[in-house]
Amino acid sequence: MGTPEKPFTPTLIEQFKLSDTYIDGAFALEQGFIFSAMILACITVYIIERKFRQAAYWSIVAAVISWVGLIHSYRWSVADTVVNFGWGTGTPWAIGYVMLAILFFYVDWQERRKA
């Protein structure tokens, strides 16, 4: 694998799934991993500190930069996956982050109602 005769293709993901290894998530985390790590760390810290509104804001940041392909978006090359910049290239990830932000705003609202 990874040669011009046998390049990496999406069929590689199916081969990994046969051994219960979901490598597509690893490929997605590989692209922009520094940004992903920093943002996910921020979200985690704000959850621990029960500052859900700040966690929601960081989720929105993650949604924007994943939508433009700065994180999580990849395309296949002969021997690797490479970042795939462009409007909407990370749309599925962006939708997930927006849903997470909505959840955090809801939890923040519930916390404020209790107080």
58: exposed, middle or buried (Cβ count in 10 Å: 0-12, 13-18, 19+)? buried
DSSP state, residue 85 = -
- pTM of structure: 0.83
pLDDT of residue 75: 77
For 59-110, what is each residue's pLDDT tens digit?
A: 999 999 999 999 988 877 777 777 788 898 999 999 999 999 999 999 999 9
For 9-57, what is each residue's pLDDT tens digit?
A: 777 888 888 888 888 878 888 888 999 999 999 999 999 999 999 999 9
Residue type, 45: V
pLDDT of residue 29: 82
